[in-house]
Structure 1
Amino acid sequence: IQLFEAFGVTPPVFAHMPLILNQDGSKMSKRDVGAALGTYPEEGFLPEGVMNFLALLGWSPKDDTEIFSPQELIERFSLEAVNHSAAKFDITKCRWVNQQHIIALPAEEFALRARPFCLKAGLPDSPILDAAIATVQTKVQTLAEVPDKIRFFFELDMDPEAVSKVQPEALELLFKLADRLEQETEWDGHELISVLKAFAKENGVKMGAVMFPARVALTGLSGGPDLSSVFSLLGREETVRRIRSFSLD
């Protein structure tokens, strides 16, 4: 400021931003989680998500709003609303904010951004890749999570924990279900859920007794995309094949 004044120039207005601390209150260093900005794109964070999260470190909009587009941040941010106390970096909150921005993306934009992560992870450039990506838009917090969430569409790998939750008596039910699905004249995922409901009623079991083992047989997982999407993208032949080949071994 003295140099500005010595040269007869009006100095700019300076503002002090609070420090960013780790969750334990220690000063954040470049080796700490979240400190290196260059890692965010590699880990599948959206630029607008990271910008949103960083803006909330030490600044408050004075209401309960937490999710902002870049333009909304520009319009609402003010130095007067910056806190004097240090902010604590929370990677869990950062991932949550990023997830909200992922959910808000148009489906086509989400697929476009996630596609490079899928190809880099070795998934095939398949005609169903974009549709498979779309099935997990609400289930991931970063783009880097997408490949493992949809890998089962292209290569089935059974999760032992998921398989262990399938009861032995479900095997006979699955084989009967495969016969039933093979006879369906129309292959529509949403309609097939109705078929499963009718099948469960006919066999005197609850819907979950059919849905869960069917999910494990088709995906190798205990959770994931809606089963209607799984039916649609796998198609009749692959769906029936996976159900018939499922075992508890």
Structure 2
Amino acid sequence: MWAFFHKLASPKGFYAFSARLSPWFWAAAAVLIGAGVVWGLAFAPADYQQGNSFRIIYVHVPAAFLAQSIFVAMALAGLVFMVWKIKLADMAATAMAPLGAGMTFVALLSGAVWGVPTWGTWWQWDARLTSMLILFFLYIGVIALRGAFDGRDSGSRAASVLTMVGVINIPIIKYSVEWWYTLHQPATFSITSRPAMPVEMWLPLLIMVLGFYSFFIAVTLTRTRSVILHRESAKRWVRELAGEDG
């Protein structure tokens, strides 16, 4: 078992393993997101208060979930890189950051669009929205730091430190609706209680969430493979692979 994880932690081993795994997650993402979109937009009933405007939930909630989860994953990868010097962890964190920033932007934009019919305004400086905006700036800062240093290792260490410090914002996002007054509604899903929505509304949402996470894994595997090829371009196995592909 340890030999398998040791091999998987190497760029060469991960490159080969991810090639077999990523097509399954791309397929799962396509099926789940396709089914969730059709079910949520065409067949789920309209909300009794918000009407059809509530349907943006099928994009907003999965994007918000993913934005926070990716940052946590980056913080864990940064910890592994800083403590155990596993360069694959930094490669994965590098691959995740643009998708995390994109999902945060989608969550903010879809929330603003949803806020117009719900709150009567695009934006409110309440705790949930402000902390999500801070998360977006943290993503931008992490991406910028990687290119702000002459040495790649220095940029990786700086980005890892910022990510590990910035992860404190994630519980603030999660519990902001409980700690402070906010217009934002509480969490849609809860482990300890049943969803407030009827099953025909929350089930397609669950499918969309699973689809977004499958998409995240697929993108991370694919982008990490690209980062590996870029950083390991001088290695013999990469040159041999390039010879085979070319």
**TM-score under structure 1 length normalisation:** 0.21
Q: Highest CA radius of gyration, 1 or 2?
A: 1
Greater share of helix residues, 1 or 2?
2
Relative contact order, CA 8 A, sep 6+: which one is greater?
Answer: 2
**TM-score under structure 2 length normalisation:** 0.21
